[in-house]
Amino acid sequence: MTDTVNTTETTATPRQRRNRRNIMGAIAKAWQSGFLALVLWREKHIRERTFVILLSVIVGVLGGLAAMLLRSLIYYISNFLTSFINITQGNWLYLVYPLIGIIITTLFVRYVVRDNISHGVTRVLYAISQNKSRLKKKNIWASLVSSSITIGFGGSVGAEGPIVMTGSAIGSTLGSAFRMSPRVLMIMVGCGAAAGIAGIFKAPIAGMLFTIEVLMIDLTTVSVMPLLLASVTGATVAYIFTGYDAEFFFVQSENFVAERIPFAALLGVFCGLVSLYFTKTMNMMENIFSHLHAPWRKLLLGGLILAILIFIFPPLYGEGYTTIIDLLSGNVSAIADGSIFYGEGSNVWFILLFIAMIILMKAFATSATTGGGGVGGTFAPSLYVGCLSGFFFAYLLNNVFGLDLSVKNFALMGMAGVMSGVMHAPLMGIFLTAELTGGYELFLPLLIVSGLSYVTIKIFLPYSIYAMRLAQRGELLTHHKDKAVLTLLKVNNVIETDFKPVNPDMSLKEMVQVISQSNRNLFPVLDNDRKLIGIVLLDDIRNIMFRPDLYRKMFVSQFMAMPPGRITLGENMDRVMKTFDDTGAWNLPVVEEDGTYVGFVSKSKIFNSYRRVLRHYSED
């Protein structure tokens, strides 16, 4: 009897399976039909600007919920694993957790996600600049799951990069579903990013400033309200779930006085140099990992570096927010808890050396995490390094020169300084630090430190850690309207192919016949493999083309010329315009990497396309 029941429950005939598929197909069609009707109704009854406002609130709610989910996953995984840690001695588990986390994340990304989801903020920037602000739907959950595993198991990265990717994917997906234009999609991507940052930090102003300074979305009459609403909504969701207290507990026990301004200025320069070191080290390590083509080699190298560093310096475990809270509350000795140096926290010189080593090693730990296959961002690491740098700066001056600088205040100012330098976002650094800690009374020194840190690193690096990879390839969309429009233009879209090709063995008579059939005064000369070997200009042969006595004596190979320059297919428009400026040409040939002829690009075509894109891009 039991066997019969089990067989009935688990076995389905081909007809039953076919019926189920038909039912599922009918449900899917009904959903698509109903949603299409909703889209058409919206287009007919709700103005676009009004709908964008409504959509920004929805994106804000979803982005805030995603931030809460990510925070919860990281908290529960990390809390469970670290409950086995003994704070009074070194822990061999620190050698195991990070490696396991990177292995699980790598397997998840490789076999479930099946896509590269590292460098979340950079990928959002790329989507805005090169993919009409469209992100894959899987990015909504892929970064969220993988980063929670990476960070929960000790990966020395932050959750902010992944939540930016998740929020941006939510905005892009909803905008695409309602058939929004690329210009509106860009705003929706910014709304998702702003909601994610605002939700995970409980910092609505910083969330909005992130989209302006880091994602470089212009603040116009169309974008300002959606970005603000999404950011405020995302933060409100966080307030509902976690309360209204600041993320990091901070009580200002000492007022900042005018006599401390020179030291704040010195801290700003110091933070700029720390930011430069952090960025350069991250790029160096990334280049090393990029040369390891086998995934298992990357995993092994990254996992070993991370495990060893965390075993020696336990504060490198995870996001490091516990260390920030300890330093801001004055609990300095706790920095050695769980390490092989436990008990040395009362030694001033040990603390200075230990913190200095953590500042230097954090960039290696972060790059080892991402290079080995983990998923996370550099947002939290920059806050972490900033806090330690500010504390180190004040603690060193106090003990060497007998000063009485407030180490808590300077730790707070350091957070703003290093974030401003690494992200190239001074306003976000100021407001995020103030919102995270409630340290609004330190607004003046925050301004000084952030501004000087930003100025210092700009001397050496023109772009942030997120933007420099795209800027080097000419794929970055910036606030500079001319450069932004050139970035949006593609060579492939301005190529003209109505030029009559000729070959070098053609006689002048055959050349004249080709001229009579063309409305162009320029002719590409191609060999048998369609490789461009020269050009013929009508002006160059005008004096011989009406001499019949030369028709059979002159050949194309005798009067063709080399083009003043060439453009490679796929080259960015900024370089194309530089080639036009350098050569002074009006038309330039476009070839593939192997020299195969594709067509020509003319200045007039580019100018016409430029005006059209600029008009669309600047539309409010």
* Mean pLDDT computed over 163-173: 94
**Spatial separation of the C-alpha atoms in residues 453 and 450, rounded to whole Å:** 5
The residue type found at 148 is S
**Spatial separation of the C-alpha atoms in residues 367 and 388, rounded to whole Å:** 18
Among the ranges given (154-163, 262-271, 428-437, 600-609), the one the predictor scored with the smallest mean pLDDT:
600-609
Among the ranges given (34-48, 316-330, 481-495, 580-594), the one the predictor scored with the smallest mean pLDDT:
481-495
pTM of this structure: 0.77
Tell me what pLDDT residue 484 has.
52
How do 587-591 and 522-526 pair as beta strands? unpaired
Residue 584 clears pLDDT 90, i.e. is over it:
no
Tell me what pLDDT residue 614 has.
55
Q: How far is CA 112 from CA 70, 146, 469, in A?
A: 19, 10, 27
Superfamily for 47-470?
Clc chloride channel (1.10.3080.10)
Among the ranges given (4-8, 82-86, 485-489), the one the predictor scored with the smallest mean pLDDT:
4-8
Q: Across all residues in the chain, what is the average pLDDT? A: 87
Q: Could you tell me which of 431, 504, 389 has the C-alpha nearest to residue 209? A: 431
DSSP 555: B
Gyration radius (Cα) of the chain, Å: 30
For residue 589, the cross-strand partners are: 600
Q: Could you tell me which of 192, 112, 122 has the C-alpha nearest to residue 146? A: 112
Residue 9 clears pLDDT 50, i.e. is over it:
no
Tell me what pLDDT residue 470 has.
59
CB 477 within 8 A of CB 129: yes
**Spatial separation of the C-alpha atoms in residues 157 and 381, rounded to whole Å:** 6
According to CATH, the topology of domain 486-617 is: CBS-domain (3.10.580)
**Spatial separation of the C-alpha atoms in residues 128 and 470, rounded to whole Å:** 11
